[in-house]
Amino acid sequence: MLSDNPVTLIINNIGQLLTMDGPVPRVSASMRELGMIRNGALAIADDTIVWTGERSKLKLALAPDCIEVDAEGKVVTPGLIDPHTHPVFSATREDEFEMRLQGKSYMEIAQAGGGIRRSVRDLRSTPEAILYQKAMRRLDRFVEHGVTTIEAKSGYGLSTGSELKQLEVIRDLHRDHVIDLVPTFMGAHEFPDEYRDKREKYVELIINEMLPAVAQSGLAAFSDIFCEKGVFDLDQSYRIQDAARGYGMKLKFHADELVSFGGAELAASMSAVSADHLVYISDAGIKAMAGSRTVAVLLPGTSYSLGHGDFAPARKMIDNGVVVALSTDCNPGSNYSESLPMMISFAATQLRMTAAEAFCAVTVNAACAIDLGGQVGMLIPGLPADLVIWEMDDYRELPYHYGVNLVSAVIKRGQVVLQR
């Protein structure tokens, strides 16, 4: 087959090429479809994939300076997509992690003034340049672990000015780093210190001031909310998200993370793009999500790092036809990790997901969770050339061989951005 554009980069000698070609989104048994080509090759013209197939059939017009990368019989997959992160913050909170090990719960620490509110005080007093620098290093770590696109939330500002400040940092990171960032406004992450005793006033501030200002700035594609007992209740969540969609923003929810609260049902009823966490989702919630296109973004690292021992009922969700994705939730409180491969290992051992389901959940379905379904997360002609060469002969090694970095090279938009 001949392509019109001269090929600038060829990845040759791929033992298992997981193209992920197939339905979008993927549910139930189709989550295990990998579109696998054995002994494959993949050709790129500039930033776009132009051809995939068996290497013996590779016959294309090459640019004079075309680079050929020998994958040495290893696995190649799409660049991983992390659809739920909080990467812009200043100080870490390892002391809270230790407090949890000694028996304090996440909510107890939050109610005593720690948790998100502590990161809010910290972000407000940190200059943008420092936030940018620290987040840049975290983005490097995402790429080192095979991630080429992330969603990134605000939510440590909780005032109009400091939410915009955080979103501006996300904009600058997207502009300057090889990784793509999809921005989410999360002014409803917590009630800040100054509104603890007048919560309704804070809801009004979000609706009447923050959302209009954020919409006007064009700095956020999504609106997210911490819909949870003790934080934003169902009625407040509905009102804030209803206002957000009025401004053309797409919806995400932190739902049923700490107790069963009805967040999944609300998210599905509002046609949210995703509902995330869902550790304590009810059977009614699973039914509501299965009957919608709302993606369930599961964050097993958060269960692991909170240490409570409960994990989202992934098997039940997959078997009932819910669209399932996986993410790190990378943040300074409930899970500080930039490693999606580690989450894939947790997904295997704690969520009972197969390696194939997990790859689907960090590619095709993760793309759906940021409303980019079919546009990234697959290796098919016409799509951006975002891919990972892994130091493995079989894709099933990833959850099994855990705690070490198996990324060999990362290619973002046709450029080799990392080689180890």
Residues of this chain that interact with ligand NIG (CB under 6 A) are 86, 115-116, 119, 226, 254, 257, 302, 329, 331-334
Q: Are 143 and 418 in contact (CB under 8 A)?
A: yes
- What does 146 interact with, of Fe ion, ligand NIG, none (CB < 5 to 8 A by kind)? none
Amino acid identity for residue 142 in this structure:
F
User: Residue 122 or residue 371: which is nearer to ligand NIG going by CB?
Assistant: 122
Q: Give the nearest distance from C-beta 190 to ligand NIG in angstroms.
A: 8
Question: What Rg do the C-alpha atoms of the chain give, in angstroms?
Answer: 21
Q: Give the nearest distance from C-beta 298 to Fe ion in angstroms.
A: 12
∠ CA 57-58-63, nearest 5°, is 165
- What does 40 interact with, of ligand NIG, Fe ion, none (CB < 5 to 8 A by kind)? none
Q: Give the nearest distance from C-beta 347 to ligand NIG in angstroms.
A: 17
Q: Are 224 and 186 in contact (CB under 8 A)?
A: yes
Q: Is the peptide bond before 25 cis (omega within 30 degrees of 0)?
A: yes
Selection from 234, 325, 231 nearest residue 278 by Cα = 325
Q: E-assigned strands of 57-163?
A: 62-70, 75-78, 80-82, 147-153
298/419 Cα distance (integer angstroms): 29
User: Residue 74 or residue 93: which is nearer to ligand NIG going by CB?
Assistant: 93
Amino acid identity for residue 123 in this structure:
L
User: Residue 253 or residue 390: which is nearer to Fe ion going by CB?
Assistant: 253
Is 163 near Fe ion (CB under 5 A)? no
User: Residue 55 or residue 189: which is nearer to Fe ion going by CB?
Assistant: 189
415, β-bridge pairs: 412
Exposure b/e, 212-228, CB count within 10 A at least 16 = b: ebbbeeebbbbbbbbbb
* Window of 206-214, 258-266, 287-295, 326-334 that interacts with Fe ion by CB under 5 A: 326-334
Tokens matching residue 381: 């002609």
Q: Give the nearest distance from C-beta 116 to ligand NIG in angstroms.
A: 5
Which residues, numbered 328-367, are part of the site for Fe ion (CB under 5 A)? Answer: 329
User: Residue 55 or residue 93: which is nearer to ligand NIG going by CB?
Assistant: 93
User: Residue 332 or residue 377: which is nearer to ligand NIG going by CB?
Assistant: 332
- What does 257 interact with, of Fe ion, ligand NIG, none (CB < 5 to 8 A by kind)? ligand NIG
Counting residues that bind Fe ion (by CB under 5 A) gives 1
Residues making contact with Fe ion (CB under 5 A): 329
